[in-house]
Amino acid sequence: MSNEAATATTGGPAADEAVPAPEPIPHGLGSSLPPADARAKTEGTFPYAADLWAEGLLWAAVLRSPHPHARIRSIDTTHARAMPGVRAVVTHEDVPGTPVHGRGRADRPVFASDVVRHHGEPIAAVAADHPDTARMAAAAVIVEYDVLDPVTDPEQAFEAEPLHPDGNLIRHIPLRHGDPEAVGEVIVEGLYRIGRQDPAPIGAEAGLAVPRPDGGVELYTASTDPHGDRDALAACYALEPERVKVVVTGVPGATADREDRAFQLPLGLLALKTGCPVKLTATREESFLGHTHRHPTLLRYRHHADAEGRLVKVEAQILLDAGAYADTSSDALAAAVAFACGPYVVPNAFIEGWAVRTNNPPSGHVRGEGAMQVCAAYEAQMDKLAKKLGIDPAELRLRNVMATGDVLPTGQTVTCPAPVAELLQAVRDFPLPPLPKDTPEEEWLLPGGPEGAGEPGAVRRGVGYGVGMVHMLGAEGADEVSTATVKVNNGVATVLCAAVETGQGFSTLARQIVQETLGVEEVHVAPVDTDQPPAGAGCRGRHTWVSGGAVERAAKMVRTQLLQPLAHKFGMSTELLQIADGKITSYDGVLSTTVAEAMDGKELWATAQCRPHPTEPLDGAGQGDAFVGMAFCAIRAVVDVDIELGSVRVVELAVAQDVGRVLNPAQLAARIEAGVTQGVGIALTENLRTPRGLIRHPDLTGYALPTALDAPDIRIVKLVEERDVVAPFGAKAVSAVPVVASPAAIASAVRAATGRPVNRLPIRPQAAVVNEQR
Amino acid sequence: MTTHAPQAAQAVTLPTTLDEAVAALTAMPTSVPVAGGTDLMTAVNSGQLRPAALVGLNRISEIRGWQYQDGHALLGAGLTHARMGRPDFAALIPALAAAARAAGPPHIRNAGTLGGNIATAAPTGDSLPVLAALEATLIIAGPGGARREIPVSHLLAGVEMLRAGELIGYVRVPLLHAPQVFLKATGRTGPGRAVASVALVLDPARRGVRCAVGAIAPMPLRPLDAEHWVAQLIDWDNNRAIVPEALHAFGEYVAAACIPDPVPAEDGSVAPLPPAVLHLRRTVAALARRALGRALS
């Protein structure tokens, strides 16, 4: 890190000019320590899985189903095997162990054997000496299908023939809270639809499998859940987990469970079969076909309120389209049902939630899953209520927001800080951006873009609000645990922890924690593999909390080891000694020595675990203390809408967020900006269309991610630092909750600009058109 | 070795004149010409196209610029979108420059060429409605130094096709010295494929308005009746004035011409257009009205 900062400030043509004194290198908690790999990633020298190479490697290709639902009559691999250069072809017959896998529930075949249940389901895989040969051989596998009618409407899944031996209903939660007879003076209803967002990681899936001399296999891939993946691989290969090793390479973007196992399983299988290293790099199309998406959701709501706008009762039906396999749909449904009323006090709530199986592509974890879909719906309901009662939308929300001590519809009391009112007031009171007419004409960026068709006379501005909440860590009794080791030798500290750096900034945070605790400047974070103890999947803010907590404990244990002899010598307890700037000083400043001297050439090691307090599953009425902690966010959106074309430009998003404690300001701002921009995608453009179960346009032209021009001005108005006493450092996860609140805020602003109901995300242009003739 | 297909083409020729390029194509009939490669190479990389040989057109300097010819501009087919988007070109043919600037992100505009846009003939090709409105003609280079000229609309409609060994050499565009507008509706603020686009040029010498609608059909559509009708309503001698109602009616006229009402059933009932098609029609109407308004303002 130190040489990185040095090269950044010296050298280059600017060195001749009068250089201001170099800024001190940030370190410790609360500083904006830059990531250690920032430079390599910026310059394009950082090695990702797609860059890996092994001598004599073979290339893999996967044959995928072109049908969303079909019975397989026969699979003939003879032609593929006979092609020169082909070394192995594997199908369901070659899976030695458990034939199924799955993140939440093992219901997904490694290779389809009798039935294909979604477009893109793997059927066979080929290893060959050239990628083109592998692809051609995969295409030469002859599969005879009896094409069946796909079930693509989740509402029809209840009545349809079972698509899977496990049935079509993956989970049903009938939440009952309060008095079912309660009636409000005002009632608003709405039906809402949320589209299918794809995580669309910038780097598509890739991996290299290398067979081991002991008959095992090593997999180099950008896994975000290495131990979970290892266990699934080992089970399918009928190997002991110790003989399968997952080595995590650089992760090129992860807002979901990355590296679908449907890629990893064939890869390792082919390496075991051929005895050669095998590499697979997915094309963009395969990437869209392979990994899981955000749950498309259908929501029906009825809000009851009194004349002052206070909520009396919320009734809702929530239907998640899980796609062909369960994956983590059960978790998504729990979040959707528990947060169906949002961060508002609701005395009576009756929520029915279902996750059902269809022949659509499988849905899974994408950050803010469940919570994002319901946020768009309950915030739309709040807008409707405000309109009906003639109350300002922000004021109506403020009359209902929850605070610490209030009870969720699941019966769980919110014990963590919940400064929702403060967040909402902060964004409401932030000055509005100038109108286009108040700025020079050449600076206008109208809906439709700089070369678009926008016309100032047809543009209307709207302001809207979105208030969201998510839970952190696994819910409903999931065992959350992480183990970390800290080693100090020669003034250099090393952190070993299987928490994957997915871009969330864990490795930077780990360095800051060790710097803070041990006063050591140079801290390295070791690469992750499954020989280390498990740390859990990199999602739901887990690593900031659980792995960060483990690193802190280990660092504190090293600190004690370091200070014990010294304390003994000085005749005081270790608590009375401080470490700062490479020096150990007693509390009164009288006694002092350098860290190097105290180390005395020793190498200090310590390993520690962090396990947050346990949770319980939701019961038959959706009741239970299911969540470890919650985070909140309020967003005010300002949009410009061309009311003739229906094109929308988000002008500004003002964000206020409950963060517990700011550990790295630069990284925190980057995470919020990234989350908010992902929310812009959900609100306006991102929807993977699957007419009749077939994925249309699986490319980045057809699937429109937000570009730099689509990203609005993001103003972080307020970060509320109310420490969460149960979380290490008091910090909360920050990445997911902006994704939850921003689509709702944008929809609310479009509603304000156009007066149209806007009950579907992404917002289609025809839903934002104001037709004067009507 | 990469994951893509570097050996897809066994031979690459890099001619420096148009006739050399034609000769190279004639010598190896299975070879494929490539200029910017923004469409072709994605097809090659995804394995959809396996050209036996490639003839690279980027070194043919004669087609990378433009020249003037009796009231027309002779545009080289190798002009990139980035070049066409610059102010000097915009002063010459404003609508084509606007289309070139809207054609995609900078790296695509730097590589993609005018000739490539015509040869690919994608419905969403942004330069195509402009060329249709300008009634541009193509100068096709053939074997033995042969040249023939065909209207761009003939090629796009498939009335006349490129024959084996032929290349689009130049595009002949009239210089009208009057306002021209290109407007495009897309799904996002950043670069994107057109949902609908309208190119509109004024021809003051002939007192005409020419308009073409892109992206809603396989080729650009010309609403000829609407053009003739609105040209009569413009007061050409008085600052090209027009009543606002006529602008509005022109938009509706163009939209109805391009997206007609469904044919009535035998019992005389008319099924309404689906909402998405109605929205597209409203979009075309708004674009055409705005385009004419801007051209006349």
CB A754 within 8 A of CB A770: yes
Question: Between A135, A704, A771, which is nearest B188 by CB?
Answer: A704
Nearest CA in chain A to B279: A766
Distance, CA of A199 to CA of B166 (rounded, Å): 44
The answer to whether A708 faces chain B, any CB pair under 8 Å, is yes
Residue A766: count other Cβ atoms within 10 Å of its Cβ.
17
C-alpha pair distances (Å), A429 with each of A215, A248, A310, A654, B14: 64, 45, 22, 10, 63
Total domains, chain B: 3
Q: Using CB atoms and an 8 Å cut-off, which of residues 586-645 of chain A contact chain B?
A: 644-645
Contact criterion met (CB < 8 Å) for B286 and A453: yes
In a domain, A188, yes or no: no
Helices (H) and strands (E) in chain A, counts: 17, 29
Task: Tell me the pLDDT band of A687, cut-offs 50, 70 and 90.
Answer: very high
Distance, CA of A448 to CA of A709 (rounded, Å): 10
CB A453 within 8 A of CB B184: yes
A337 and A445 part of one domain: yes
Contact criterion met (CB < 8 Å) for A765 and B279: yes
Residue A425: count other Cβ atoms within 10 Å of its Cβ.
17
Contact criterion met (CB < 8 Å) for B283 and A707: no
A536 and A571 part of one domain: yes
Burial class, B117, CB count within 10 angstroms (exposed 0-12 / middle 13-18 / buried 19+): buried
B156 and B122 part of one domain: yes
A672 and A701 part of one domain: yes
Distance, CA of B220 to CA of B223 (rounded, Å): 10
Q: Lowest mean pLDDT of A221-225, A410-414, A630-634, B84-88, name the range.
A: A221-225
| The predicted structure's pLDDT at residue A642 | 92
Mean pLDDT over A364-385 rounds to 94
A130-161 pLDDT tens trace:
998 999 999 999 999 999 999 999 999 999 99
Mean pLDDT over B55-83 rounds to 94
Task: Tell me the pLDDT band of A5, cut-offs 50, 70 and 90.
Answer: very low
Distance, CA of A443 to CA of A466 (rounded, Å): 28
Distance, CA of A48 to CA of A250 (rounded, Å): 5
| The predicted structure's pLDDT at residue A573 | 81
Select the residue from A263, A644, A677 to test the B interface by mutation, using most B Cβ atoms within 10 A. Answer: A644
Of A245, A278, A311, the last residue of a domain is: A278
A570: domain CATH number? 3.30.365.10
Distance, CA of A54 to CA of B202 (rounded, Å): 63
In a domain, A270, yes or no: yes
CB B102 within 8 A of CB B129: no
Q: How does DSSP assign chain B, residue by residue?
A: --SS-GGGSSEEE--SSHHHHHHHHHHSTTEEEESS-TTHHHHHHTTS---SEEEE-TT-GGGSSEEEETTEEEEETT-BHHHHTSHHHHHH-HHHHHHHHTSS-HHHHHH-BHHHHHHH--TT-THHHHHHHHT-EEEEE-GGG-EEEEEHHHHHHTSS-PPTT-EEEEEEEE---S-EEEEEEESSSSS--EEEEEEEEEETTTTEEEEEEESSSSS-B--HHHHHHHHHHSBTTTTTB--HHHHHHHHHHHHHHHSPPPPP-TTS--PPPPHHHHHHHHHHHHHHHHHHHHHH-
Which residues face A293 on adjacent strands?
A363
Q: Which two tokens stand for residue B24?
A: 């190279």
Q: Using CB atoms and an 8 Å cut-off, which of residues 222-281 of chain B contact chain A?
A: 275-276, 278-279
B115 and B141 part of one domain: yes
Distance, CA of A630 to CA of A540 (rounded, Å): 10
In a domain, B229, yes or no: yes
B167-177 pLDDT tens trace:
999 999 999 99
| The predicted structure's pLDDT at residue A772 | 58
Mean pLDDT over A621-631 rounds to 91
CA A148 to chain centre: 34
The answer to whether A766 faces chain B, any CB pair under 8 Å, is yes
Select the residue from B120, B124, B188, B252 to test the A interface by mutation, using most A Cβ atoms within 10 A. Answer: B188
B100 and B127 part of one domain: yes
Burial class, A477, CB count within 10 angstroms (exposed 0-12 / middle 13-18 / buried 19+): middle
Mean pLDDT over B147-162 rounds to 93
In a domain, A166, yes or no: no
Question: Between B186, B195, B276, which is nearest A449 by CB?
Answer: B186
Q: How does DSSP assign A114-135, residue by residue?
A: SEE-STT-EEEEEEESSHHHHH
In a domain, B217, yes or no: yes
For every residue of A239-273, which 3-state class applies, written as one string?
A: CCHHHEEEEECECCCCCECCCCHHHHHHHHHHHHH
Which residues are CB-contacts of A200 (< 8 A; sequence separation ≥ 6)?
A: A287, A288, A686, A700, A703, A705
A660 and A685 part of one domain: yes
B129 and B195 part of one domain: no
Q: Which two tokens stand for residue A341?
A: 């009323």
Residue A534: count other Cβ atoms within 10 Å of its Cβ.
17
The answer to whether B179 faces chain A, any CB pair under 8 Å, is no
Distance, CA of A291 to CA of A279 (rounded, Å): 18
Q: Lowest mean pLDDT of A149-158, A548-557, A584-593, A748-757, name the range.
A: A584-593
DSSP A520: -
Residues of chain B found within 8 Å of residue A709, distances taken between Cβ atoms: 188-191
In a domain, B235, yes or no: yes
Task: Tell me the pLDDT band of A251, cut-offs 50, 70 and 90.
Answer: confident
Select the residue from B86, B96, B126, B189 to test the A interface by mutation, using most A Cβ atoms within 10 A. Answer: B189
Q: Please, what is the average pLDDT of chain B?
A: 91
Residues of chain A found within 8 Å of residue B193, distances taken between Cβ atoms: 701
Contact criterion met (CB < 8 Å) for B186 and A646: no
In a domain, A708, yes or no: yes
A418 and A532 part of one domain: no
Q: Lowest mean pLDDT of A490-499, A748-757, B139-148, name the range.
A: A490-499
B144 and B192 part of one domain: no
Q: How does DSSP assign A135-174, residue by residue?
A: HHHHHH-EEEEEE------GGGTTTSPPSSTT-SEEEEEE
A639 and A734 part of one domain: yes
| The predicted structure's pLDDT at residue B278 | 92
B88 and B148 part of one domain: yes
Strand order in the sheet with B208-214: B180-186, B194-203, B208-214
Distance, CA of B235 to CA of A618 (rounded, Å): 75
The answer to whether B183 faces chain A, any CB pair under 8 Å, is yes
The SS3 call for residue A747 is helix
Q: Lowest mean pLDDT of A441-445, A712-716, B207-211, name the range.
A: A441-445
B196 and B278 part of one domain: yes
φ, ψ of residue A652 in degrees (nearest 5): -155, 145
The answer to whether B185 faces chain A, any CB pair under 8 Å, is yes
Question: Between A132, A647, A771, which is nearest B185 by CB?
Answer: A647
Residues of chain B found within 8 Å of residue A456, distances taken between Cβ atoms: none
B169 and B212 part of one domain: no
Contact criterion met (CB < 8 Å) for B190 and A447: no
CB B213 within 8 A of CB B133: no
| The predicted structure's pLDDT at residue A16 | 45
Give the domain extent around A562: 482-610
Distance, CA of A697 to CA of A686 (rounded, Å): 12
In a domain, A492, yes or no: yes
Q: Which residue has the tokens 């927001």?
A: A401
Kindly provide the residue ranges of all beta strands, DSSP E only, lying in A308-399, ordered along the sequence.
311-323, 348-357
Residues of chain A found within 8 Å of residue B6, distances taken between Cβ atoms: none
**A205-222 per-residue burial string, b: 16 or more CB within 10 A, e: under 16:** bbbbbbbeeeebbbbbbb
A99: domain CATH number? 3.90.1170.50
CB B254 within 8 A of CB B211: yes
Contact criterion met (CB < 8 Å) for B186 and A285: no
A334 and A392 part of one domain: yes
Q: How does DSSP assign A427-477, residue by residue?
A: HHHSPPPPPGGGS-GGG---TT-TTS---GGGEEEEEEEEEEEEEES--TT
Total domains, chain A: 3
A386 and A364 part of one domain: yes
Does residue B162 surpass a pLDDT of 60?
yes
Which residues are CB-contacts of A505 (< 8 A; sequence separation ≥ 6)?
A: A35, A664, A667, A670, A671
CB pairs under 8 A between A and B: 92
Residues of chain A found within 8 Å of residue B1, distances taken between Cβ atoms: 130-131
A27-83 pLDDT tens trace:
788 888 888 888 888 888 888 888 888 888 999 999 999 999 999 999 999 999 999
Burial class, B143, CB count within 10 angstroms (exposed 0-12 / middle 13-18 / buried 19+): middle
In a domain, B1, yes or no: no
Q: Predicted ipTM?
A: 0.89
A309-353 pLDDT tens trace:
999 999 999 999 999 999 889 999 999 999 999 999 999 999 999
- Top pLDDT among B73 and A536 is at B73
Question: Between B186, B279, B286, which is nearest A766 by CB?
Answer: B279
Residues of chain B found within 8 Å of residue A131, distances taken between Cβ atoms: 1, 3-5
A749 and A622 part of one domain: yes
B287: domain CATH number? 3.30.390.50
| The predicted structure's pLDDT at residue A259 | 62
Residue B107: count other Cβ atoms within 10 Å of its Cβ.
10
Residue (of A646, A713, A719, A652) closest to A684 by Cα position: A646
- Top pLDDT among A564 and A111 is at A111
The answer to whether A59 faces chain B, any CB pair under 8 Å, is yes
The answer to whether B192 faces chain A, any CB pair under 8 Å, is yes
Of B145, B174, B203, the last residue of a domain is: B174
Residues of chain A found within 8 Å of residue B186, distances taken between Cβ atoms: 448-449, 452, 647
| The predicted structure's pLDDT at residue A48 | 85
Q: What share of chain A is helix, strand, coil (3-state, %, to 5)?
A: 30, 25, 45
Of B135, B153, B174, the last residue of a domain is: B174
Mean pLDDT over B237-241 rounds to 89
Residues of chain B found within 8 Å of residue A132, distances taken between Cβ atoms: 5, 47
Instruction: Work out whether strand A278-281 and strand A206-211 pair parallel, antiparallel, or are unpaired.
Output: antiparallel
Residues of chain B found within 8 Å of residue A281, distances taken between Cβ atoms: 3
Residue A75: count other Cβ atoms within 10 Å of its Cβ.
19
Name the helix (H) or strand (E) containing A219.
strand A217-221
Contact criterion met (CB < 8 Å) for B1 and A130: yes
B113: domain CATH number? 3.30.465.10
C-alpha pair distances (Å), A79 with each of A84, A88, A122, A447, B169: 10, 12, 18, 54, 45
B188 and B286 part of one domain: yes
Does residue A541 surpass a pLDDT of 90?
no
In a domain, A593, yes or no: yes
A507 and A599 part of one domain: yes
B128 and B101 part of one domain: yes
Does residue A164 surpass a pLDDT of 80?
yes
| The predicted structure's pLDDT at residue A644 | 92
Contact criterion met (CB < 8 Å) for A685 and B283: no
Residue (of A352, A339, A349, A346) closest to A300 by Cα position: A352
A264-297 pLDDT tens trace:
899 999 999 999 999 998 888 888 998 899 999 9
Select the residue from A645, A763, A773, A774 to test the B interface by mutation, using most B Cβ atoms within 10 A. Answer: A645
Longest dimension (CA), chain B: 67
CB B185 within 8 A of CB A448: yes
In a domain, B161, yes or no: yes
Contact criterion met (CB < 8 Å) for B186 and A452: yes
Does residue A444 surpass a pLDDT of 80?
no
A9-26 pLDDT tens trace:
333 444 444 555 566 677
In a domain, A627, yes or no: yes
| The predicted structure's pLDDT at residue B6 | 45
Task: Tell me the pLDDT band of B64, cut-offs 50, 70 and 90.
Answer: very high
Question: Between A132, A448, A709, which is nearest B5 by CB?
Answer: A132
A240 and A305 part of one domain: no
B107 and B201 part of one domain: no
Burial class, B245, CB count within 10 angstroms (exposed 0-12 / middle 13-18 / buried 19+): exposed
The answer to whether A130 faces chain B, any CB pair under 8 Å, is yes
| The predicted structure's pLDDT at residue A586 | 80
CB A175 within 8 A of CB A350: yes
B83-129 pLDDT tens trace:
999 999 999 999 999 999 999 899 999 999 999 999 999 999 999 99
φ, ψ of residue A525 in degrees (nearest 5): -110, 120
In a domain, A385, yes or no: yes
Mean pLDDT over A177-194 rounds to 94
Give the domain extent around B150: 62-174
A357 and A316 part of one domain: yes
| Percent of chain A scoring above 70 in pLDDT | 95
The answer to whether B101 faces chain A, any CB pair under 8 Å, is yes
- Top pLDDT among B196 and B265 is at B196
Question: Between A684, A707, A771, which is nearest B191 by CB?
Answer: A707
Question: Between A130, A283, A685, which is nearest B188 by CB?
Answer: A685
How many angstroms separate the CA of residue B12 from the nearest CA in chain A? 20
Nearest CA in chain A to B98: A451
Question: Between A132, A448, A458, which is nearest B189 by CB?
Answer: A448
Does residue A104 surpass a pLDDT of 60?
yes
* Span between the terminal Cα atoms of chain A, in Å: 63
| The predicted structure's pLDDT at residue A597 | 78
Q: Please, what is the average pLDDT of chain A?
A: 89
- Top pLDDT among B61 and A491 is at B61
